[in-house]
Amino acid sequence: MPPFINDCALFSVSQKAIIKDKKGRILMMEKAGKGHWDLPGGKLDEGEDMHDSIAREIIEEIGFDKVRIGDIIYAGRRSFEEKGKPERVMIFYACEVDHKLEKIKLSDEHSEWRLLSEDDIKDQKKYEINPVVRTALKVAFAQN
């Protein structure tokens, strides 16, 4: 039996919202100062309900409070290169918003947003996207 490790998480949970416009493009945001693109969402806080968590993250990151959280369309695992940082289980939801996407109010975490097409996300030089997020996007585009 392995030894007990005190105060060490084996993994954390992060949730992401896949929000499409009427043309089927997906909302992506560039992380400020990091140069990579991501979906709205973030880590699940201890004791927080999963739907409450993703709704909170959407409000914090793009300012939208009228969101329908749909089905989980993909779940994957993201490893971190930093020593001592646990792996992250990432859960991706199909979401719909009752707001015009032009009214997005980005948090300080992000520098810009775009609606990306399936062809856009294939351009790995222009859009740096984590592999597990890229896989979730492929699944979302396949559901058109």
Q: Domain spans of the chain?
A: 13-142
Tokens representing residue 93 in the block: 């939801």
Q: What is the pLDDT of residue 1?
A: 47
Q: What is the pLDDT of residue 34?
A: 82
Domain 13-142 architecture: Alpha-Beta Complex (3.90)
Q: What is the pLDDT of residue 144?
A: 67
Q: What is the pLDDT of residue 33?
A: 85
Cα angle value 50/44/72 (rounded, 5°): 45
User: What number is the average pLDDT over the span 1-26?
Assistant: 77
User: What number is the average pLDDT over the span 128-132?
Assistant: 92
Q: What is the pLDDT of residue 108?
A: 92
Binned at pLDDT 50, 70 and 90, residue 124 comes out as confident
Give the model confidence (pLDDT) of 69-119 as tens digits: 999 999 998 766 566 667 889 999 999 988 888 899 999 999 999 999 999
Is 44:70 a contact under the CB 8 Å cutoff? no
Chain-wide mean pLDDT for the chain?
87
